[in-house]
Amino acid sequence: MTERILSASAALAEALHEEMQRDETVFILGEDLTAHAGIFGQFEGLPENFPGRIIDTPISEAAIVGVGVGSALTDMRPIVDLHFSDFVTCCMDELVNQAAKIRYMFGGQVKLPLVVWCPDGAGIRAAAQHSQSLEAWFVHVPGLKVVVPSEPSDVKGLIKSAIRDDNPVMFFQNKSLFSKQGVVPEEDYLIPLGKAAVKRQGKDVTLICYGSGYYLCKEAADILAEQGIEAEIVDLRTLKPLDMDTVTVSIKKTGRAVTVHEACLTGGFGAELCARIQEQLFDHLKGPIKRVAARDVPMPFSPGMEDFCLPKVTDVVMAAHSIVSRK
């Protein structure tokens, strides 16, 4: 395997180059894609290399996702860029009532290979309407796959699998992670959807995370190690399908779990994890499962308030302590 350091953004662009090269039915649709290679520069090189296959649209989210759904039904493999994940609200019918339902409702006659690329997350002082993490909404909708990568290599491996998947995939990539650097395999690198990664081994507590939550756990685990607590990190990578096998193996080993995500607490994916873990692994648990998440408010603008609302490394450390030190 040849490996080099790339940013998450570059890993995305590389994967898209490879997939568009490999399969001419793949195209990208969305607002303001060609002038600056996406509003975050995330599609570097694609407008020059694939003219006519990365396409600017009017500001018409329902139509954009509709075009995605319709062309996926008719032998294309569209990738739709939603600009900011917050704008899923402007095309919910196309996502929830159409993309998610069509194959099932029509008795499995058709496949729907659609990727909806949603830049999400907070921390850039973008306030309430440009900072949300809404992945849990889509986990709740049967018929959609939900992917939330963390490291650059995950971005590459998962977007390629998402594109090749014959089902609609919601792909959430955190804006604050675009510039994160990491080792990324150079070749045709695929990570199967529904496969979590144990990114750190430990015996005392399992930190279950995805997306930006992974980076909190990574730092927290270092701090915990200095304090004599060995944390294991399970990066889910895909929320649906969910890799409960990997979670199970880890919890059988540690007997303790903390869930960590940037989305707000109530009704978040952490709740689903808690439910499954207590249902399936009750006898292996040495204490309650703790959830680390954002506060249950819209994201405020002012930096001090935004930072206060977001989950922090210390929250993860404290949550781990609270269950490890329990008698």
Ligand X SMILES: Cc1ncc(C[n+]2csc(CCOP(=O)(O)OP(=O)(O)O)c2C)c(N)n1
- Which of 17, 63, 70, 185 touches other proteins by CB under 8 A? 63
DSSP reduced 3-state for 172: strand
Question: How far is the C-alpha of 194 from the C-alpha of 214, rounded, in Å?
Answer: 17
* H or E element, residue 219: helix 212-226
Question: How far is the C-alpha of 319 from the C-alpha of 38, rounded, in Å?
Answer: 38
Catalytic annotation present for 31: no
Q: Are 44 and 10 in contact (CB under 8 A)?
A: yes
Minimum separation from the CB atom of position 86 to other proteins (A): 7
- Give the single-character DSSP code of 312: -
Minimum separation from the CB atom of position 22 to other proteins (A): 28
Residue 302 interacting partner from ligand X, other proteins, none (CB closer than 5 to 8 Å by kind): other proteins
Helical spans, DSSP H, in 112-208: 135-139, 152-164
Residues facing residue 81 across a β-bridge: 30, 117
Compare residues 225 and 318 and give the one whose CB is closer to other proteins. Answer: 318
Among positions 102-131, residues that touch other proteins (CB under 8 A) are 124-130
Binding site for ligand X (CB under 6 A): 31, 59, 61, 83, 87, 90
Minimum separation from the CB atom of position 163 to other proteins (A): 25
Tell me how many degrees the CA angle 40-269-243 measures, rounded to the nearest 5: 95
Token pair belonging to 199: 């990114």
Residue 168 interacting partner from ligand X, other proteins, none (CB closer than 5 to 8 Å by kind): none
Minimum separation from the CB atom of position 8 to other proteins (A): 20
Compare residues 58 and 108 and give the one whose CB is closer to other proteins. Answer: 58
89 counts as binding other proteins under rule CB under 8 A:
yes
Residue 126 interacting partner from ligand X, other proteins, none (CB closer than 5 to 8 Å by kind): other proteins
- Rounded to the nearest 10 degrees, the angle between the axes of helix 212-226 and helix 313-324 is 50
User: Environment class of residue 279 by beta-carbon count within 10 Å: exposed (0-12), middle (13-18) or buried (19+)?
Assistant: exposed
Minimum separation from the CB atom of position 56 to other proteins (A): 6
Catalytic annotation present for 230: no
284 counts as binding other proteins under rule CB under 8 A:
no
Hey, which residues are catalytic here?
Answer: 61, 130
Using CB under 8 A, list all residues that contact other proteins: 31-32, 34-36, 39, 56-63, 86-87, 89-90, 124-130, 295-298, 300-309
